[in-house]
Structure 1
């Protein structure tokens, strides 16, 4: 198997999930897709009868990372590359092929993310530095646009222009094109994080040993509803994830974070 993928679902609309599933399966490559369902019922079970799709029903919402880990911790289920794929992603034929060949040509890359846009074509700024408490506090709690814009300019690496291949210490978890041997070596998502921030943690662990790369030569579409900005329960899940991550890696005294962020700024600030 060349490429496998896992999609974690929770009460997703059929037309949205159909777009993600079709995008992944629309290839001549040897692929296989796992749909791991955290929904309260197994309605999705009836939607797909393609032999390249396996449906797994959890009968509980066990969280984003824990659901992906059902597949990722079993290396025998993974292709040479494994894609962590959000259900609200869609892309054209040829994307997987280009990613595959790019990774084959660069064996020091552990995770790769393409250019990601909204449905209207506007760029999503999903390349980030390692977060500081200040970054997350301002982005979560302060409604002052000028202050937030200043934080985002650096935290979201907007100073890079997003127009060239670059190393990024924190790539979004909505589309993670991972090398199987890296998963074997580095491990899977930290299940202490229910949702939000598990991608930060896994990318950081990969970045310690491999390159994690933004590859803008291909583009995908992400609906990106930002649920934690609209739902109080999801907001507090986001807060708890941030606290867990900072407790694990360090709040104000994190030498590795400072070293990595400074090196990235020095390399890419124009």
Structure 2
């Protein structure tokens, strides 16, 4: 008999807006089966713990910013042999509880699937192109400079019918639902990435296991998408640093 918790999740926090974060937490806690939410706080001040005192949440205060990848990986020992599915969730996402059952159903019926993600929209309903082809080094420059739109659109699979599910190279990491056993087997995220590119890297790691990732647009979520690296020098530095680590690890040319 399987006595595991059905789904666990991590949300990595850093100086979050409480009102926005509460919407995300409430979305998860409305899921109608056994669950556990880990709130991993990289902020310098512990001001959120008392606000999320719920039996299905666990708050972890790091007292320093250890980065997105390392913070997510803190739960690996907890979720091993504990949950069936594990959700990597951004603190600015809202979703209906019923979508989880549909996503889990897709994972359950396909042994080759490790991870699945839904359609993503901005709060105004505009579509977010979260399914992407693996980038070559030049693609990051093109996107940053906002030039060669045809190439950018190719990288976003705009030549496909995006109302249908398919298996992209990678999927942006605001909402990534994994089979827990698979997430544990690949040791989660590569902790060399402090912020950015860790979602691209983990999809490469999935490829190396012979399994797949599915983009499943039959259900949708809402994501604010802050795009911080285009606005703050420090975040841009993290993005460039992660890009360097990614291409050093996987090569400068897209080999998807």
TM-score by length of 2: 0.94
C-alpha deviations, 1:207-226, integer Å up to 9, x for none?
23211000011000000010
1:65 aligns with 2:66: no
Offset from partner CA, 1:180-223 (integer Å, 9 cap, x none): 12123222111111000011100111123211000011000000
Task: Tell me how far apart the structure 2 counterparts of residues 232 and 82 of structure 1 sit (CA, whole Å).
Answer: 32
* Matched-pair contact (CA < 8 Å) for 1:152–1:158: no
SS in structure 1 at match of 2:60: strand
In structure 2, what is the equivalent of residue 49 of structure 1?
Answer: 53
Of residues 99, 102, 107, the one that matches 2:106 is 102
Aligned to 1:90: 94
Alignment partner, residue 236 of structure 2: 235
Report what 2:12 is aligned to.
8
Out of 127, 132, 142, the position equivalent to 1:128 is 132
Asked if the contact 2:114/2:213 (under 8 Å) is kept, the reply is yes
Residue in structure 1 matched with residue 154 of structure 2 by the alignment: 154
CA RMSD in angstroms comes to 1.3
Q: Which residue of 1 aligns with 2:200?
A: 200
Which whole-Å CA distance do the structure 2 matches of 1:72 and 1:218 have between them?
27
Ranges in structure 1 where 5+ consecutive residues have no aligned partner: 261-270
What secondary structure sits across from 1:43 in the alignment? coil
Deviations 1:116-142 (A, max 9, x none): 0000111100101111001011112x2
Partners of 1:77 and 1:70 in 2: CA distance: 15
Once the two structures are overlaid, the 10-residue window that deviates more, 179-188 or 214-223, is 179-188
Higher share of residues assigned helix: 1
Partner of 1:36: 40
Map of 1:179 onto structure 2: 179
Looking at structure 2, the residues matched to 165 and 44 of structure 1 have their Cα atoms a distance apart, in angstroms, of: 37
Alignment size in residue pairs: 251
- Following superposition, the deviation at residue 79 of structure 1 comes to 1.1
The Cα of 1:93 is off from its aligned counterpart by 2.3
